[in-house]
Structure 1
Amino acid sequence: MHTISIIGAGNLGSALARVAAAGGARVQVVARDIAKARQLAEQVGGEGVQFGSPLIGEIVFLAVPYAALSEVISTYGEQLEGMTVVDVTNPVDFDTFDSLAVASDSSAARELQQALPDASVVKAFNTNFAATLVSGEVGGVPATVVIAGDDADAKARVSEVVTAGGIAVADAGSLKRARELEALGFLQIVLAVREEVTWAGGFAVRS
């Protein structure tokens, strides 16, 4: 059984907690709002703690906005050494809503890996809206989490948590592919904001 820590108790953090708990993982929810962290943890049979408290998971999901990654790094950088760190962010420039807020040859996941050289960063869940993880489907197609990373063992650990929770996984390859995943996530968000798709829809993967 895996033990995971989820930093963030918003919509996606809540969906991740439910998927992980459904697969038998022990879940720690970490959030600034301790009441919200404890409420979500109670719902999934886990533990809720305030941001800044020690992490207990060997896999850590960063279910926070891209802009919050720097604070996560400054707060938990040493604790994340040697751990599997799952980046679920989409680095959208919300000022212009017209581009990704990273260099054209980089990604949020690549920046995170550079900031945490002793951790194994895996990109995952950024192309999934929370509602599709809860329902397990996208427009009648089973939901799939697309992952990318340079550490095969780390990807395998993340895949075990996801598939145990009843969601399929597709491996996109190395962490270089995070750039394409973030572009896809950005496009999906744009379509939802423009009401071309619902927040319970989006892109699906067929095998």
Structure 2
Amino acid sequence: MTTFTIIGTGNMANAIGGVLADGGSSVTYVAKHQVGVAPVDGDVVVLAVPFPAVDSILDAYADALAGKVVVDITNPLNFETFDSLVVPAGSSAAAEIQARIPSAHVLKAFNTNFAATLGAKKVGELTTTVLVAGDSAEAKATLVAAVEAGGLEAIDAGALARAHELEAIGFAQLTLAVSEKIGWTGGFGITR
């Protein structure tokens, strides 16, 4: 059984935790006020927080995250304007996290999903699909298996370099939802 620690307690944290628990994984949560105090004991640590919160989490847990699988769900948007990403061109939030904790196995996942589609396990009539990018085949396989056990589809989207494209998809999806062109129960569906 895979153990997960989810840092965050918002809609996405609870939706992801629900999927993982449905698949038989053990899930614990670290709330904002517990960061730096509560342990991150899971084999996999999910950063289910807004991108601006990541730096302080990495400051608090850099040593504890060494050797762990770290899942970055963030979309590094400029939340004041919603018109750009705030990471260097060609980079990604996941790549920035990997640079900060080089001994961790950083994955990009869940950033192209809304909480409602994770909870419902559907996007329209399609099963919700989670795209997973990362450089560790073993880490990706662990997350994909846990997501699939929870009733969703999961696709290995390639190396961590693909996080750049996943964040672009997440950016497009969020800007469409904020401008009310799609609903928060919408999203992109994948068929195989």
Runs of 4+ in 1 over 2 A off after TM superposition: none
Please state how far the C-alpha of 1:25 moved relative to its aligned partner: 0.8
Tell me the equivalent position of 1:157: 142
Question: Which amino acid is the alignment partner of residue 19 of structure 2?
Answer: V
Tell me the equivalent position of 1:103: 88
Tell me the equivalent position of 2:17: 17
Tell me the equivalent position of 2:179: 194
Tell me the equivalent position of 1:51: 35
Equivalent residue for 1:130, pick from 110, 115, 122? 115
State the SS of the aligned residue for 1:77: helix
Tell me the equivalent position of 2:75: 90
CA distance in 2, matches of 1:63, 1:146: 16
Tell me the equivalent position of 1:183: 168
**Which consecutive unaligned segments of at least 5 residues does structure 2 have?**
none
How many residue pairs get aligned? The number is 191
Structure 2 length as normaliser, TM-score? 0.97
The C-alpha deviation readout for 1:162-207, integer Å capped at 9, x for no partner, is: 0110111011100010000001001000110111110011111111
Question: Which amino acid is the alignment partner of residue 111 of structure 1?
Answer: E
Tell me the equivalent position of 2:5: 5
Quick check: 130-139 or 24-33, which moved more? 24-33
Structure 1 length as normaliser, TM-score? 0.90
CA RMSD of aligned residues (A): 0.8
Tell me the equivalent position of 1:28: 28
CA distance in 1, matches of 2:105, 2:32: 25
Question: Which amino acid is the alignment partner of residue 167 of structure 2?
Answer: E
Identity of aligned residues (%): 51
Please state how far the C-alpha of 1:31 moved relative to its aligned partner: 0.5
Please state how far the C-alpha of 1:56 moved relative to its aligned partner: 1.4
